[in-house]
């Protein structure tokens, strides 16, 4: 009988795995390698032998264990196809598939049933019967069978009345049929006339039978209580054994097994009962006390088949789990423990996840048979084409390269051949396969053949349905800064209703091509979805959702340089009508997936968790079952941390506008970008929208409009402050999820500034620079106001005005941040009679204030009326606003013109000087000679020379032009904030050029030197007007002290002037270069360009009294 109770049909066998444990295997459970692939369907044991039954014959299992080659014919003991087999002490019974009985072995006690003349038969010999036999059993020296009508027969030794024959009937037997209590031929058991027998079992010297109505009958030896009918030596006639369950109901028996002197029985409800000898705990009751009546074995199990031999017991429950207990001789309980016996039924853990089909004991071994069976296919519902992997769970699997999985269409009338695929053994009890693409949806029966030929008969049915196809998203762009909360997403698709209107839907969102990982689909999240009601949608609405496949593929390539994997074409095009589009709605939390991408990025050397990835594309797949996913959606969900950081240039011309490059992170290729330019200082919130173009994942660009196209009348384009702030925000336009109306969605919650300027006039420090260069300039806006923005394109232009054109000089400048300013409005609550000391706006913005910092108006504050005590001043209240401010710094280049220009300037200067001198000489009157008598002998030539006008050279005298005097004395400085837009002359600042400041002397220097605290006045040559003058008192070894000084120009001779400073502190640390004890002499170095360059005295000139 098979495990499910049905008869095993000949010709539909399948492969199996046989395990053995005992003396030969060192008490370890191991499978019989040489019998793998044999179609074993039953095993039997007794004495010191175990047999495996196949259609090809009967194999000796213990000899097969030691087999070292593939010649399994060497262990084929009998060429007999038997369905079951029973062993006695020295004889064998076998039952063929057609109900014939074969006996062989030693039969001196008549156990062969062939009469007294045939007591030794070496090979299987059929025993004539009237009806096909369905059950056989053997005791030590007797045999029993049951035919299909329920008639029972017995023969062999009857010393202990184990045959169940009436004595009076024995007297009527013919000659040679019964010799001294031995029956030589099969004898019909009369009790089976009225009690049809279903199965029989034999102990060593007793017999049990279960009738078709569930009654248990026993007879034979009973000295140990094995008959279950109380204490008795033996019972000649079959007697019913009343078996009562613990619930008080009569138990109906279906199976029985006999040991030497104990009996096991199982009921229809799976209850297990035992009685008889219990010397080794074989009753499974937790003790070694024998029982004389049936006792239910308590346990959470449902017995299906029972087995017993000697003092050992076993059963297989309805789940195929094997339990063993009793004597553990040679480890035959398969528990792999050293205990000599077990008192309670114990599951054999070696066979977890397997189903035991049959079990058999012998004296020093046991065997467990696992037949190849397919129990479950996961998933049991799968898509027609995108099915990934099927898991086939079952038992009786073993590793081989010939595993074939077959798929047969249910209802196939022979027009379609079955589809098949190759299976792979993943673990004990699990095979996986990639199924074929099914021709059409429907139900398919799945079976498996481990040897590639013999498929399992218990096929498992699966459902194959048409593949759902996901299309577009709404929204198709998600800001991951807000991913802590679930995002509501709608997906459109086709064939979504093939799973049923009320089917549970689950959508997987997986990363695709994110920038820090090359592994696709490494991170994902899933969310339950709901199929929305069907509706008819227009083409315009359908096309407006998401981004189509071609655009998205181009975006992925542009952004990440990756290509999407090729996918097989669907057969949907073969359908005459396009599938109906449906929509799914889900709410998904994407933050775990984003964190997973961060983790993987860190493991793969990508962006660290402190700098998380700023962009990834998600694809959606419909989870069709526990194992398969639909094809990826035809569009992608763009998840970003779109973060614009700066605009370059940071400022552009009001008149022309210009191209602006925006840098940041999280940018993606798209045609949906729009940049909104908002005038910050406009009370009416003026703004304009312009298109923005993707350049790379870190940059975008757009063409900013001129300010005239935005401002109109709200702001003065000629604002003297020179700079107008605008804010840039980025957005895209998308159809809404429900009705398809267009809506504007912002990509980033903040904005970045962009400044428009009116070619601002510069405020330059210092106001005098050296012509040879080296002076560092600091430039701010007019009125010494700092710049409220940063740009890397700023330049400074130097223009020298001259009769001979001189090329302007351009120098790249750097914008340096200064200490953040605090523009505040101080409100002082005055007591009566005090003056208002609040600073004005111009005062608060002087030098460091920014015109773009929003001024806080005192009127906007709610002026409180705190209670004040008489004579006290109220508290000061302030509102502060901080903003990063910048100034422009650059180093002045050499402003000496080119050599050709210098020559031309000098030539022109000489010509001009000569012309001036000639005009001056011509205007000088000739002196009148007094009226005297002419001198005799006076040389006419000499007289002529005395009356001629002076020459030009004589007129020029010491004022003849030099290079320093010929070159321009001033230079115009202007700012190119964007590096392009040049300022006009009117917007440039004029500063003075100087060549060298030369020391002349010190006025009124005391003979013994100046004392500390004295004021020193130095006469110098080459001085020009300046706002910065410093004197460096220098000693030996480069020790020095720098003090601030005041420069004054001589009105009568502008080339000369004085420098005045005070010896306000001791010259500590300045080494006297003369090393004199009474008077210390020091060098004097003078700087008039903000201490950038110094003109040094050649000798010590300053005398100071020692401290």
- 3-state secondary structure labels for all residues of 141-183: CEEEEEECCCCEEEEEECCCCCCCCCHHHHHCCCCCCECCCEE
Q: Over the stretch 524-557, which tens digit does the pLDDT of each residue have? A: 888 888 888 876 444 434 444 444 445 545 544 4
N residues, the chain: 1107
Q: Max Cα separation, the chain?
A: 213
Answer for the pair 1007, 1067: CB distance below 8 angstroms, yes or no: no
Asked whether residue 956 carries a pLDDT value surpassing 70, the answer given is no
* Token output for 985: 């002359």
CB 777 within 8 A of CB 943: no
What are the tens digits of pLDDT across the range 776-787?
A: 999 887 766 777
| CA distance linking residue 499 with residue 74, whole number of Å | 56
| Cβ atoms of residues 386 and 421 within 8 Å | no
Terminal alpha carbon distance of the chain: 125
Tokens of 655: 């008149």
3-state secondary structure at position 995: coil
Residue 681 has what pLDDT? 62
Torsion from C-alpha of 846, 847, 851, 857, nearest 10 degrees: -30
Query: For the purposes of burial, counting CB atoms within 10 Å of the CB of 462, is it exposed (0-12), middle (13-18) or buried (19 or more)?
Result: buried
Q: What is the dihedral of CA 144, 149, 150, 152, to 10 degrees?
A: -30
β-pairing, 460-465 vs 381-383, is: parallel
562: pLDDT strictly greater than 50:
no
Closest CA to 983 of 650, 649, 655: 655
CB 90 within 8 A of CB 109: no
Whether residue 688 contacts residue 676, with contact meaning beta carbons closer than 8 Å, is answered with yes
The confidence score (pLDDT) of residue 707 equals 75
pLDDT digits over 361-385, tens only?
Answer: 999 999 999 999 999 998 888 888 8
> Using H for helix, E for strand and C for coil, what is the string for 787-831?
ECCCCCCCEEEEECCCCCCCCCEEEECEEEEEEEEEEEEEEECCC
Within 10 Å of residue 737's Cβ, how many Cβ atoms? 17
For residue 194, what are its two tokens? 């009225």
- The pLDDT, as a whole number, for residue 577 is 55
- Tell me what pLDDT residue 653 has: 79
Could you read off the pLDDT of 201-245 as tens digits, one per residue? 999 999 999 999 999 999 999 999 999 999 888 898 999 999 999
For residue 453, the surrounding DSSP H or E stretch is none
What band does 716 get if pLDDT is binned at 50, 70 and 90?
A: low
Question: Which residue has better confidence, 296 or 505?
Answer: 296
pLDDT the model gives residue 783: 67
The three-point CA angle 169-172-178 to 5° equals 80
* Strands 477-479 and 637-640, sheet pairing: parallel
Strand partners, 106: 120
How far is Cα of residue 502 from the mean position of the Cα atoms in its chain? 32
Residue 188, pLDDT > 90, answer: yes
Q: Which of 24-38, 74-88, 1040-1054 has the lowest mean pLDDT?
A: 74-88
Tell me whether residue 290 is exposed, middle or buried, using C-beta atoms within 10 angstroms of its C-beta: 0 to 12, 13 to 18, 19 or more: middle
Instruction: Give 926 or 1028, the one with higher predicted confidence.
Output: 1028
Angstrom distance (rounded) from CA 922 to CA 826: 70
Residue 19 has pLDDT above 90, yes or no: yes
Per-residue pLDDT tens for 587-624?
888 877 766 555 544 444 444 333 456 777 888 888 77
Q: Do the Cβ atoms of 329 and 27 come closer than 8 Å?
A: no
Q: Are 154 and 172 a contacting pair, CB within 8 Å?
A: no
8 A C-beta contact, residue 728 and residue 688: no
- Residues whose CB falls within 8 Å of the CB of residue 946, separated by 6 or more in sequence, listed in order: none
Computed on alpha carbons and rounded to an integer, the radius of gyration of the chain in Å comes to 57
pTM for this structure? 0.56
**According to the model, what pLDDT value does residue 370 have?**
93
pLDDT at 686: 73
Dig out the tokens for 663 from the structure: 């840098």
Contact 333, 353 (CB under 8 A): no
Tens digit of pLDDT for each residue in 974-1010? 888 888 888 878 888 999 999 999 999 999 999 888 9
Q: Which has the higher per-residue pLDDT, 786 or 352?
A: 352
Per-residue confidence (pLDDT) for residue 414, from 0 to 100: 59
Catalogue the E-assigned strands of 284-362: 291-297, 303-309, 312-317, 322-327, 341-347, 358-361
Helix, strand and coil percent figures for the chain, each rounded to 5: 10, 40, 50
Could you tell me which residue, 568 or 117, shows the higher pLDDT?
117
Greater confidence, 912 or 306? 306
Q: At 917, phi and psi to the nearest 5?
A: -65, -40
E strand segments, 483-562: 487-494, 505-512, 524-531
Q: Report whether pLDDT(839) > 70.
A: no
Q: pLDDT class for 817, splitting at 50, 70, 90?
A: confident
Which range among 59-68, 136-145, 647-656, 899-908 has the greatest average pLDDT?
Answer: 136-145
Q: Which of 636, 620, 679, 683 minimizes the C-alpha distance to 654?
A: 679
Parallel, antiparallel, or unpaired: how do β-strands 970-976 and 876-891 relate?
unpaired
Please give the torsion angle defined by the CA atoms of residues 244, 249, 255 and 259, in that order, rounded to the nearest 10 degrees: -10
Residues 1015 and 1061: beta-carbon distance below 8 Å: yes
In this prediction, residue 823 carries a pLDDT of: 40
Q: What is the mean pLDDT of residues 328-347?
A: 92
Measure the CA–CA gap between 615 and 480, rounded to whole angstroms.
9
Identify which of 821, 851, 858, 881 has the alpha carbon closest to the alpha carbon of residue 681: 851
> Does residue 439 or residue 925 have the better pLDDT?
439
Distance between CA atoms of 91 and 93, rounded to whole angstroms? 7
Identify whether the C-beta of residue 446 lies closer than 8 Å to the C-beta of residue 407.
Answer: yes
**Per-residue confidence at 348, pLDDT binned at 50, 70, 90?**
very high
Look at 267 and 965; give whichever has higher pLDDT.
267
User: Which letter does DSSP use for residue 1010 in this model?
Assistant: B
Q: What is the pLDDT of residues 694-710, one digit of tens each?
A: 888 888 888 888 877 66
The secondary structure element, H or E, covering residue 911 is helix 899-922
At 925 the pLDDT is: 60
Mean pLDDT value across residues 128-142: 94
| Most confident region among 262-271, 403-412, 999-1008, 1067-1076 by mean pLDDT | 262-271
pLDDT per residue as tens digits for the range 279-302: 999 999 999 999 999 999 998 889
Q: Does residue 88 surpass a pLDDT of 90?
A: yes
Q: DSSP letter for 1049, please.
A: E
For every residue of 893-905, DSSP letters joined together read: ------HHHHHHH
Binned at pLDDT 50, 70 and 90, residue 793 comes out as confident
User: Which of the two residues, 949 and 802, has the higher pLDDT score?
Assistant: 802
The encoded tokens of residue 854 equal 């929003």
Whether pLDDT at 426 is above 80: yes
Cβ neighbours for 939, distance < 8 A, ≥ 6 positions apart: none
Contact yes or no for 1036/1071 (Cβ under 8 A): yes
Average pLDDT for the chain: 79
Q: How many CB atoms lie within 10 A of CB 164?
A: 28
Pair 532, 580: CB distance under 8 Å:
no
| Arithmetic mean of pLDDT, 464-468 | 84
What local confidence, expressed as pLDDT, does residue 415 receive?
A: 62
**Which of 396, 331, 365 shows the shortest CA–CA distance to 65?**
365
* C-alpha of 269 from chain center: 53
637: tokens are 């969900």
Contacts of residue 26, defined as CB under 8 A and 6 or more positions apart, other chains included, come to: none
pLDDT in tens, 868-882: 333 333 333 333 445
Report the Cα 243 to chain-centroid distance in Å.
64
The DSSP letter of residue 910 is H
Q: What is the DSSP letter of 832?
A: T
Q: Above 70 in pLDDT, residue 853?
A: no
Is the model more confident about 484 or about 269? 269
The label of the residue with tokens 């390698």 reads 33
pLDDT of res. 641 = 81
**Residue 308 predicted with pLDDT over 80:** yes
765 exposed, middle or buried (CB, 10 Å; 0-12, 13-18, 19+)? middle
| Residue of 269, 165, 270 lying closest to 207 (CA atoms) | 165
- Torsion (CA) 470, 472, 477, 483 in degrees, nearest 10: -30
Burial of 748-761, coded b for 16+ CB within 10 Å and e otherwise, reads beebbbbbbbbbbb
**197 vs 148, 217, 849, CA distance in Å?**
9, 10, 113
Q: 953: which 2 tokens?
A: 């050279």
């Amino acid at each position: 009988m098979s495990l499910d109770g049905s008869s095993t049909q000949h010709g539909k066998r399948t492969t199996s795995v046989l395990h053995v444990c005992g003396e030969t295997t060192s008490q370890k459970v191991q499978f019989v390698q040489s019998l793998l692939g044999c179609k074993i369907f039953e095993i039997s044991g007794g004495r010191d032998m175990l047999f495996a039954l196949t259609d090809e014959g009967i194999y000796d299992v213990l000899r097969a264990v030691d087999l070292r080659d593939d010649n399994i014919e060497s262990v084929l003991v009998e060429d007999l196809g038997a369905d079951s087999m029973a062993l006695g002490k020295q004889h064998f019974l076998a039952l063929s598939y057609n109900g014939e009985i074969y006996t062989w072995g030693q039969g001196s006690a008549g156990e062969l049933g062939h009469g007294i003349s045939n007591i030794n038969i070496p090979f299987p010999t059929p025993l004539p019967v009237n009806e096909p036999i369905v059950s056989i059993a053997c005791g030590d020296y007797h045999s029993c069978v049951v035919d299909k009508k329920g008639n029972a027969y017995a023969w062999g030794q009857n010393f202990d009345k184990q045959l169940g024959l009436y004595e009076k009937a024995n007297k009527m037997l013919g000659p040679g049929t019964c010799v001294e209590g031995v029956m030589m031929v099969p004898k019909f058991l009369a009790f089976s006339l009225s009690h049809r027998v279903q199965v029989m079992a034999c102990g060593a010297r007793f017999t049990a039978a279960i009738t078709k109505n569930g009654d248990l009958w026993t007879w034979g030896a009973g000295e140990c209580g094995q008959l279950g009918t109380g204490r008795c030596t033996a019972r000649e006639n079959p007697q019913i054994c009343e078996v009562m369950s613990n619930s008080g109901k009569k138990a109906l028996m279906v199976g029985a097994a006999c040991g030497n002197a104990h009996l096991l029985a199982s009921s229809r409800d799976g209850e297990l009962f035992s009685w008889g000898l219990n010397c080794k705990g074989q009753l499974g009751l937790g003790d070694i006390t024998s029982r004389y009546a049936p006792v239910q074995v308590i346990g959470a199990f449902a017995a299906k088949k029972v087995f017993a031999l000697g003092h050992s017991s076993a059963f297989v429950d309805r789940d195929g789990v094997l339990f063993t207990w009793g004597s553990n001789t040679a480890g035959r309980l398969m528990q792999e423990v050293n205990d000599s016996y077990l008192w309670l039924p114990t599951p054999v853990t070696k066979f977890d996840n397997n189903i035991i089909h049959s079990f058999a004991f012998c004296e020093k071994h046991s065997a467990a048979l696992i037949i190849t069976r397919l129990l479950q296919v996961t998933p049991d519902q799968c898509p027609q084409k995108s099915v990934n992997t099927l898991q086939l769970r079952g038992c009786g699997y073993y590793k081989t390269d010939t595993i074939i999985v077959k798929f047969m269409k249910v209802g196939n009338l022979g027009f379609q051949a079955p589809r098949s695929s190759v299976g792979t053994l993943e673990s004990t009890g699990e095979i996986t396969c990639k199924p074929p693409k099914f021709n059409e949806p429907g139900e398919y029966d799945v079976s498996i053949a481990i040897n590639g030929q013999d498929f399992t008969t218990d096929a498992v049915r699966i459902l194959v349905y048409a593949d759902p196809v996901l299309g577009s998203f709404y929204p198709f762009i998600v800001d991951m800064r807000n991913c802590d909360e679930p995002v509501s997403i709608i997906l459109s698709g086709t064939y979504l209703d093939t799973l049923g209107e009320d089917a549970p839907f689950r959508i997987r969102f997986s990363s695709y091509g994110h920038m820090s990982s090359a592994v696709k689909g490494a991170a994902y999240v899933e969310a339950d979805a709901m199929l929305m009601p069907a509706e008819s949608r227009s083409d315009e609405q359908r096309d407006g959702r998401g981004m189509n496949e071609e655009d998205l593929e181009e975006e992925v390539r542009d952004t990440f340089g990756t290509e999407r994997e090729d996918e097989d074409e669907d057969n949907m095009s073969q359908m005459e009508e396009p599938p109906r589009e449906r929509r799914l709605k889900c709410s998904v939390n994407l933050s775990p997936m984003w964190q997973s991408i961060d983790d993987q990025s860190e493991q793969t050397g990508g962006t660290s968790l402190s700098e998380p990835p700023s962009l990834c594309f998600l694809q959606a797949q419909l989870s069709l079952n526990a194992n398969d996913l639909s094809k990826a959606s035809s569009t992608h969900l763009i998840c970003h941390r779109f973060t614009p950081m700066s605009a370059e240039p940071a400022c552009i011309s009001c008149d022309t506008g210009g191209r602006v490059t925006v840098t940041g992170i999280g940018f993606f290729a798209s045609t949906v970008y729009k940049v909104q330019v908002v005038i910050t200082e406009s009370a009416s919130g003026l703004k304009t929208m312009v298109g923005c173009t993707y350049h790379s994942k870190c940059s975008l660009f757009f063409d900013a409009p001129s300010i005239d196209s935005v401002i109109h009348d709200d702001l003065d384009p000629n604002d003297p402050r020179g700079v107008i702030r605008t804010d840039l925000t980025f957005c895209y336009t998308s159809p809404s999820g429900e009705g398809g109306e267009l809506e504007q969605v912002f990509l980033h919650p903040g904005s970045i500034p962009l400044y428009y300027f009116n070619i601002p006039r510069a405020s330059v420090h210092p106001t005098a620079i050296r012509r040879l260069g080296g002076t560092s300039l600091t430039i701010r806006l007019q009125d010494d106001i700092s710049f409220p923005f940063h740009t890397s394109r700023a330049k400074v232009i130097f223009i020298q005005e001259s009769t001979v054109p001189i090329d302007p000089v351009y120098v790249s400048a750097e914008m340096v941040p200064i200490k953040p300013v605090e523009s505040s409005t101080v409100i002082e609550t005055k007591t009566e009679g005090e003056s208002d000391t609040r600073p004005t706006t111009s005062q608060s913005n002087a030098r460091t204030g920014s015109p773009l910092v929003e001024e806080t108006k005192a009127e906007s504050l709610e002026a409180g009326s705190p209670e004040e005590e008489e004579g006290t001043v109220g508290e000061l209240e302030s509102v502060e606003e901080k903003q990063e401010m910048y100034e422009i710094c650059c180093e002045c280049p050499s402003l000496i013109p080119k050599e050709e220009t210098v020559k031309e300037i000098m030539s022109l200067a000489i010509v001009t000087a000569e012309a001036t001198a000639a005009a001056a000489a011509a205007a000088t009157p000739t002196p009148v000679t007094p009226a005297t008598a002419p001198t005799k002998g006076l040389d006419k030539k000499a007289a002529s020379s005395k009356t001629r006008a002076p020459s030009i050279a004589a007129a020029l005298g010491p004022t003849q032009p030099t290079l320093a005097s010929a070159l321009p004395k001033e230079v115009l400085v202007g700012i190119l904030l964007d590096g392009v837009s040049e300022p006009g002359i009117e917007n440039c600042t004029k500063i003075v050029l100087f060549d060298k400041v030369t020391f002349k002397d010190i006025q009124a220097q005391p003979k013994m030197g100046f004392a500390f605290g004295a004021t020193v006045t130095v006469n110098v040559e080459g001085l020009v007007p300046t706002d910065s003058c410093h004197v460096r008192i220098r000693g030996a070894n480069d020790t020095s002290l720098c003090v601030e000084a005041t420069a004054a120009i001589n009105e009568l001779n502008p080339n000369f002037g004085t420098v005045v400073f005070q010896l306000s502190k001791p010259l500590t640390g300045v080494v006297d270069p003369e090393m004199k004890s009474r008077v210390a002499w020091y060098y004097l170095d003078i700087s008039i360009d903000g201490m950038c360059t110094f003109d040094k005295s050649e000798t010590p000139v300053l005398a100071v009294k020692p401290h």
